Amino acid sequence: MKYYISMLKEKSHWKRRVKVFLSTVIMMAGGGAQQAPQGGASGVLSFLPFILIFLVLYFLMIRPQAKKQKEQQKMLTDLKQGDQIVTIGGIHGTIAGLREQDNTIIIKISDNSKIIVDRAAISRKVG
């Protein structure tokens, strides 16, 4: 116990612990001095699983989401008066007017009721 207390009092204690930790990680990864170098290709091959995981994530998650977001943005810019829409809150209505200066839309819900919503609150066009 006294050993650990004296180690904590030293300023270089944490530096030593970090060095020991990093050397352990390097040894576990196979980069230690005990193994003979196998050439430059082994470094690339060790990163191959990470590259493959990134590619799978890109094609299954990132790319489709970006495509969907691009389509949503195109739909929002193509809105015009008379389009039937649904908001993200589930309100169905017809566009009665567009306000470009503050990026809002006037939606006619029934004969006597209109609401003003932000353009980003439009979920989809109906029909």
- Per the DSSP assignment, residues forming a β-bridge with 107 are 95, 115
The whole-number average pLDDT for the span 25-34 is 60
Mention every residue, 6+ apart, whose C-beta is less than 8 A from residue 91: 107, 109, 115, 117
More confident residue, 69 or 5: 69
Q: 13 pLDDT exceeds 70? A: no
Residues 119, 104 contacting (CB under 8 angstroms): yes
Mean of per-residue pLDDT scores for the chain: 81
Do residues 123 and 103 lie in contact, with contact meaning Cβ atoms separated by under 8 Å? no
CA–CA distance, 70 with 64 (Å, rounded to integer): 10
Q: pLDDT tens for residues 80-89?
A: 999 999 999 9
Sequence-distant (≥ 6) Cβ neighbours of residue 29 within 8 angstroms: 46
Distance (Å, whole) CA 17 – CA 120: 52
Out of 2.30.30.140, 1.10.1740.10, 2.60.40.10, 2.60.40.1890, the CATH code matching 80-126 is: 2.30.30.140
Six-digit token string for 61: 């998650």
State pLDDT tens for residues 31-64.
544 554 555 567 778 888 899 999 999 989 999 9
Domain residue extents for the chain: 1-33, 80-126
Report the pLDDT averaged over residues 1-27.
Answer: 59
pLDDT of residue 97: 94
pLDDT at residue 67 is higher than 70: yes
Higher pLDDT, 65 or 15: 65
